[in-house]
Chains A and B, each alone.
Chain A
Amino acid sequence: MKVLTYLKNTLLAGFAIALTVSCERDISDEAIEATFPNTPDIFIDAPVSLTDEFFISFDPAVGANTEGFGTDENEAYAGSSSIRIDVPAPNDPDGNFIGGIFRDRGEGRDLTGYDALTFWAKGSLTGTIQVGFGTDFLTDTYPVSTAIQLSSGWRKYVIPIPDPSRLVQERGMFLFSAGSFDALGNDNPADANSFSDNIGYTFWLDELKFENLGTTNLLYPFILNGQDVEIDNFTGYTQTIDGLGATFNLGNGQNISVEASRAYFDFTSSDNSVATVSATGDVNLIGAGTATITGSIGNATANGSLTLNSTGSFVNAPDPTQAQADVISIYSESYPSVTGFNPGVFAGSNTQSISVQTFEGNSHVNYEGIDFIGIGWDGTVNVTGETMVHVDIQLTSGAGSALVMELIDFGPDDTDNGFGDGTAGGFNVSSQLMEGQWVGIDIPLSAFTLPTGGGGAGNPNLANIGYIVFVSSNGASFLVDNIYFY
């Protein structure tokens, strides 16, 4: 029995008839699966069965330029007309890139009989543009896209469909996106100014359609960009499988890789008692053991996998036992705590990562490979009425990891402005740490006697504590929970 998705009411009626008429027939004549037009053409000399607006731009609010799109009666690969796209310069007041989609004007097209989107294109410069299909700005279920480089003469481009059988009703006929041309080859995504010397250009598209070429060969799909990733984690860990696509060999012998949406893929877990994966690629670690998540398109197994190793549930830090009334809490689920908690207000340049992990509703901060990090919050706390500070730390790097905890007092002006009025001191917790185990550390506030890396002399004042700092001389990794004064 086929999976019937469309025109449910009609089909239900059809099933009822089929069941009463004959047990042998799979499906009644009345319940023919709804099909949609299989029109292949998108633009030949004019748009074919597209919406009246023809071109639906990306949002101008994010910089999409809606002015550069049109048709050109003076240029055509074949026939009398082509699509002309003027790619804006970076300083164009109407927007610094151009892009959008063409959408089918009807309920969608049946593309199951085609294996590729094809078109001819040429550019006034050899710019690189993103092209694809399957994006309709409605459900965006089946996007496929890839980058192509234009040439100065007309050239045919082939964008293979990863699994045409999925495209029974597709409205996303075409997508393109193009930014200015990097003539000097100095674009740097981390430096917006590096784009300012780019220039605008024009490209043309013609004979845009779906085809059944028969010459595109799926070499392999891929997940996680084809990498075999291994992760050690605990029950409750989640991850979404990304880096999805497929690599094809075209009839001209060239390989092309496309990005493809999750909807083309089937995902499986090697052990559903350890980790599950949904149809949308959402992985949930649910038990102890090892499970490997793999993907496939049709019968083709994807390159890349996610292996999860788990010892089961994460053991959270023990719940604190101090009475709430006796506590000024910085970070704990057990007490009302400061607002604006930030586990990394600042960090040394060698610090690898800072993240917050949550297992069974209990969060902690995961510091990996730190040199120094600062914990901050809104305002300061006055702990002159307290005698101790508590912190739960689990060392995740090896024995011998060095760690000093510091209290930073902003001084009477309540502002982080150095040691004009501020004070600071440290306490070495290294000897108390244990790898792989939570250790509750309780430190007398009078014990923060060490000078600090930031220049504090030790023995901080306690009325305006604004930061708690951790410093490691050898790149310690550790988890932190339940920081409070009492």
Chain B
Amino acid sequence: MLALTIISSVVFVSCEADETQTVATLSNLVMSDEFDIDGAPDPSLWTYDLGDGTQQGLPAGWGNNELQIYTSNSENVEVQNGLLVITARENTAGGYTSARIKTQGLFEQQYGRFEARIRLPQGKGLWPAFWLLGNDCSQNPWPACGEIDVMEYLGDQPTVVLGSVHGPNFSGAESISKEYQLTNDRFDTDFHVFGIEWSPGRINYYVDDVLYQSITPETIAEETNGAGTWVFDNAFYIILNVAVGGNLPGSPDANTTFPQRMLVDYIRVYN
């Protein structure tokens, strides 16, 4: 029902770039947000993670020593000119605000092709991501509920993105992960398509028209010497966020300028 509602509201706009995907096989669109209505993100699809993580029971810094406070303010998250704009800002006290939106309880799906067309920010300490989290984390605490990182990026490596999975015995710094490096281009100067095609027993990762990683239960077993478990046969929801600082990217440095923005042209899910 929800998916049908969303589809019916989709207005297809012409996007200048050709996003032909030879790497994906699923083409039945079941959810899409083209971000065509200015204002707050569509409340029928998106909700917010707010604060510093302590409301969620995490240590301050979302468990990663991240520096930002997430808000739902328009200066941190807003749809405008056909784009979802998540803006990381430095406040006068030297702290940071940003936003993290999610489809938890509004759109959750097991398997499928999840992709988004995104232009990423720039500068050390910026850590944007497009990722999926299992919808049963309240019963099976992370990492048992599973995490699929379609795209993670560090602002001081403007030509590199990461695709990862986290699960029991392969989480945090031990996640199963692969870098994809652009040649002759950057992720912060133009839009690129980031996607996974997730099926029973396989997650394929792609950037634009390049398939760069395929993760299966066998991959997990090999990478963890048999200790890891495939936990990706469940419904997951989508998260889009821009973190600042923390264990992975390190803190912003003197060359990092604010505000910094992640621009999302669309997000689409196919079966």
Partners in one complex: yes
Report chain B residues within 8 Å CB of A255. 255
- Min CB distance, B43 to chain A, in Å? 35
A214 vs B187: C-alpha distance in the bound complex, in angstroms?
Answer: 11
Contact with B along A240-259 (1 / 0, CB 8 A): 00000000010111010000
Given known pairs A249-B122, A251-B159, A253-B156, the reply for A217 and B186 (CB within 8 Å) is: yes
Report chain B residues within 8 Å CB of A213. 184
B189 at the interface (CB under 8 A from A): yes
Report chain A residues within 8 Å CB of B159. 215, 251
A212 vs B188: C-alpha distance in the bound complex, in angstroms?
Answer: 17
Given known pairs A249-B158, A251-B159, A253-B156, the reply for A217 and B188 (CB within 8 Å) is: yes
- Min CB distance, A101 to chain B, in Å? 29
- Min CB distance, A223 to chain B, in Å? 18
- Min CB distance, A118 to chain B, in Å? 13
Contact with A along B191-215 (1 / 0, CB 8 A): 0000000000000000000000000
- Min CB distance, A130 to chain B, in Å? 22
A215 vs B185: C-alpha distance in the bound complex, in angstroms?
Answer: 5
Contact with A along B149-164 (1 / 0, CB 8 A): 0000011111100000
A108 vs B188: C-alpha distance in the bound complex, in angstroms?
Answer: 34
B102 at the interface (CB under 8 A from A): no
B124 at the interface (CB under 8 A from A): yes
A255 vs B188: C-alpha distance in the bound complex, in angstroms?
Answer: 14
Q: Tell me the number of A-to-B contacts counted with CB atoms below 8 Å.
A: 34
Q: Which size class do B's interface residues fall under?
A: 10 to 19
A214 vs B192: C-alpha distance in the bound complex, in angstroms?
Answer: 14
Given known pairs A251-B158, A253-B157, A253-B158, the reply for A214 and B255 (CB within 8 Å) is: no
Within 8 A of A (CB), among B25-61: none
Task: Decide: B255 and A215 in contact? CB cutoff 8 A.
Answer: no
The residue from A212, A217, A252, A253 contacting B189, defined by CB atoms under 8 A apart: A217
Nearest residue (CB) in B for A249 is B122
- Min CB distance, A6 to chain B, in Å? 29
Q: Which size class do A's interface residues fall under?
A: 10 to 19
Report chain B residues within 8 Å CB of A249. 122-123, 158, 188
- Min CB distance, B108 to chain A, in Å? 35
- Min CB distance, A302 to chain B, in Å? 15
Contact with A along B121-165 (1 / 0, CB 8 A): 011100000000000000000000000000000111111000000
Nearest residue (CB) in B for A213 is B184
Task: Decide: A253 and B184 in contact? CB cutoff 8 A.
Answer: no
A253 vs B186: C-alpha distance in the bound complex, in angstroms?
Answer: 10
A217 vs B119: C-alpha distance in the bound complex, in angstroms?
Answer: 14
Given known pairs A253-B124, A255-B255, the reply for A217 and B158 (CB within 8 Å) is: yes
Nearest residue (CB) in B for A253 is B156
A217 vs B122: C-alpha distance in the bound complex, in angstroms?
Answer: 10
- Min CB distance, B183 to chain A, in Å? 8
- Min CB distance, B182 to chain A, in Å? 8
Report chain B residues within 8 Å CB of A212. 184
Contact with B along A204-225 (1 / 0, CB 8 A): 0000000011110101000000
Report chain A residues within 8 Å CB of B189. 217
A253 vs B188: C-alpha distance in the bound complex, in angstroms?
Answer: 11
Within 8 A of A (CB), among B196-243: none
A255 vs B157: C-alpha distance in the bound complex, in angstroms?
Answer: 12
Report chain B residues within 8 Å CB of A251. 158-159, 186
- Min CB distance, B151 to chain A, in Å? 17
Best-buried of A251, A253, A255 by chain B (most CB within 10 Å): A253
Report chain B residues within 8 Å CB of A215. 158-159, 182, 184-186
The residue from B156, B157, B185, B188 contacting A214, defined by CB atoms under 8 A apart: B185
Contact with A along B232-271 (1 / 0, CB 8 A): 0000000000000000000000010100000000000000
Nearest residue (CB) in B for A251 is B159
Report chain B residues within 8 Å CB of A219. 122, 257
Report chain A residues within 8 Å CB of B155. 253
Nearest residue (CB) in A for B254 is A255
- Min CB distance, B158 to chain A, in Å? 6
A463 vs B183: C-alpha distance in the bound complex, in angstroms?
Answer: 83
Nearest residue (CB) in A for B158 is A253
A213 vs B189: C-alpha distance in the bound complex, in angstroms?
Answer: 13
Report chain B residues within 8 Å CB of A214. 183-186
- Min CB distance, B153 to chain A, in Å? 11
A215 vs B182: C-alpha distance in the bound complex, in angstroms?
Answer: 9
Report chain B residues within 8 Å CB of A253. 124, 154-158
Best-buried of B124, B158, B185 by chain A (most CB within 10 Å): B158
A251 vs B154: C-alpha distance in the bound complex, in angstroms?
Answer: 12
Nearest residue (CB) in A for B257 is A219
Nearest residue (CB) in A for B156 is A253
Nearest residue (CB) in A for B124 is A253
A217 vs B155: C-alpha distance in the bound complex, in angstroms?
Answer: 13
Best-buried of A213, A215, A217, A219 by chain B (most CB within 10 Å): A215
Contact with B along A121-153 (1 / 0, CB 8 A): 000000000000000000000000000000000
A43 vs B30: C-alpha distance in the bound complex, in angstroms?
Answer: 56
A253 vs B183: C-alpha distance in the bound complex, in angstroms?
Answer: 14
Report chain B residues within 8 Å CB of A217. 122, 158, 186, 188-189
A251 vs B158: C-alpha distance in the bound complex, in angstroms?
Answer: 6
- Min CB distance, A253 to chain B, in Å? 4
- Min CB distance, B180 to chain A, in Å? 14
A249 vs B188: C-alpha distance in the bound complex, in angstroms?
Answer: 10
Nearest residue (CB) in A for B122 is A249
Report chain A residues within 8 Å CB of B124. 253
Report chain A residues within 8 Å CB of B185. 214-215
- Min CB distance, A257 to chain B, in Å? 10
Report chain A residues within 8 Å CB of B122. 217, 219, 249
A311 vs B50: C-alpha distance in the bound complex, in angstroms?
Answer: 54
- Min CB distance, B189 to chain A, in Å? 5
A249 vs B156: C-alpha distance in the bound complex, in angstroms?
Answer: 9
A32 vs B122: C-alpha distance in the bound complex, in angstroms?
Answer: 41
A215 vs B184: C-alpha distance in the bound complex, in angstroms?
Answer: 6
Best-buried of B123, B157, B159, B188 by chain A (most CB within 10 Å): B159
- Min CB distance, A115 to chain B, in Å? 10
Complex A-B: 16 CB contacts under 8 Å = A212-B184, A214-B186, A215-B184, A217-B122, A217-B158, A217-B186, A217-B189, A219-B122, A249-B123, A249-B188, A251-B158, A251-B159, A251-B186, A253-B155, A253-B156, A253-B157
Which A positions have Cβ atoms within 8 angstroms of B?
Answer: 212-215, 217, 219, 249, 251-253, 255
- Nearest first, the 6 closest Cβ-Cβ pairs linking A and B are A214-B184, A253-B156, A255-B255, A214-B185, A251-B159, A253-B157
User: Other than the known A214-B183, A214-B184, what 10 A-B pairs have Cβ atoms closer than 8 Å?
Assistant: A215-B158, A215-B182, A217-B122, A217-B186, A217-B188, A219-B122, A249-B122, A251-B158, A251-B186, A253-B124
